[in-house]
Amino acid sequence: MFKCLFKSSVFVAALMGAGLLASPPVLAAEQCQAMVTEPLQKVGETRLRVYFFRVYDATLFTESGGYPDTDAVALQLNYLRDIRAEQLVDTTRDEWKNLGYSIDEQAESWLQQLQSMWPDVSNGDCLIAATDSQQQVRFYNHQGALGSIDDSQFAEQFFAIWLSENSSFKRNRDELVGAR
C-alpha cells in the first residue's frame, strides 16, 4: 500500500528499517527461503486451498532435488491468510490424528513446544521447517530462527503431514514430491 503512495524506494526502505512498514510478502518469502534452502534444490511446489480459501503456497527442497532419497529436507510455507499460532498447532494435532499417530504425552510435549515457538502468521509471512541427517527439525521465519525440536520421531511425524502417501491432501503431496 505504501509503495503506491511513495515512489522513493529509499523512503520505503527507511520505513521498513525503522519497523514502521512490514516487509512486502515477496521479500519476506525470499528472505525466509535464503536462510536455509540455499544449498538445497527445489523438488516441487503446491498451493493449499481449503474449499475456496487459499491457505499457503508450499515448496519442498532437498539436497538432490528429489524425494525421498535425501537426508536434508526443507519445507517452506508462504501463508496467504492470517492464522493464529494456536490454530497452526491444533491443525498439526488433527493431521497427526488423521495419519494414525497417537496424541500421547510425547506428542503433547512437541505440540506445546511448537505453540511456544511459532508466531501468528499473516498474509505474506513464511515458515520453514528444515531437517538434516541428524533429524533435528529447525523452524525459521523471515526474521530468523524460531527454535528446534531434536527428535527423529518428531521429524518423521511432522513432515508426514505433507509428505506421507496418506496425507490429507494427496494432490498437494504429489505436487510437492514431484510425482505430479
Q: Which domains does the chain show, CATH number per domain? A: 25-176 (3.50.70.10)
Q: How far apart are CA 141 and CA 134, in angstroms?
A: 21
Residue 36 confidence (pLDDT): 61
Bridge pairing between strands 144-150 and 136-141: antiparallel
Residue 59 confidence (pLDDT): 95
What is the grid cell recorded at 116?
511456544
Does this model's pTM top 0.85? My answer is: no
Range picked from 15-19, 72-76, 116-120 for highest mean pLDDT? 116-120
Q: What is the mean pLDDT of residues 42-55?
A: 94
